[in-house]
Amino acid sequence: MNKYANWFACSCGVILLTVSTLKFFGLTTPAEFWLLNDPVFKIKNQTLYSIAALLELCAAGCLLLPQSSRYKLWLASYFGANFLAYRLAVLTLADTDRCACLGHIGLMSRFTPAFERFLLWGLAGWMLLGALVFLIVTNRIIEPTCAAVLGSLEDGGVRQSEKSKPSYDRNC
């Protein structure tokens, strides 16, 4: 199961790498869009997308490099939750249904607004829900439960020197 969790984390890393690359390329295009304020954070789009692209690039590097799969899954779920929260905020606060989440290049693309919404919601859902599913599944498979640990302690799975120590509260 860990192998699949790592593959999933790598797919999230590729998503973040692609999105950050689109934002970086978009920043190089001269456009009035970069001088406007973001409807959610109320700062210039150029500043916001520069920061977001750097954070996404760093996260993509962490997801693509060999790390603990648990760490990668938490990182993917964090970015997925942030994408979803930003999309919800744009829907409620912005006067347009188009999101500049992919940067200026995403706005210049020939995607229909419906396909763009589907794509962005799908990517955010993939990252958040997929990571949460893997966290739940790998937690049940890899990590022993509290009852299993206590059961092995009571069955004599402890060395004699540890049995003579005073007992403490054994709640996990």
* Integer Cα distance of 74 and 54 in angstroms: 19
Spatial contact of 127 and 75, defined as CB atoms under 8 Å apart: no
pLDDT digits (tens, 9 = 90+) for 90-115: 888 877 666 666 655 666 667 777 78
How far, CA to CA in Å, does 103 sit from each of 99, 117, 139, 162? 9, 14, 36, 59
Q: pLDDT at residue 59 above 90?
A: yes
pTM: 0.70
- Specify the pLDDT at position 148: 52
Domain ranges of the chain: 2-146
* Integer Cα distance of 114 and 122 in angstroms: 12
Calculate the CA dihedral of residues 56, 16, 79, 77 and round it to 10 degrees: -140
- Specify the pLDDT at position 14: 93
Alpha helices in 28-68 (DSSP H): 45-64
Residue 157 confidence class, pLDDT cut points 50, 70, 90: low
In total, the chain counts a number of residues equal to 172
- Specify the pLDDT at position 19: 87
pLDDT digits (tens, 9 = 90+) for 124-150: 888 888 888 888 887 765 555 554 555
- With left for phi above 0 and alpha for psi between -120 and 50, is residue 66 left, alpha or beta? beta
Taking alpha carbons only, the member of 87, 118, 115 closest to residue 100 is: 87
pLDDT digits (tens, 9 = 90+) for 30-53: 777 788 888 888 899 889 889 999
The position carrying tokens 């919601």 is: 121
Give the 3-state secondary structure of residue 146. helix
Burial of 143 (0-12, 13-18, 19+ CB in 10 A): exposed
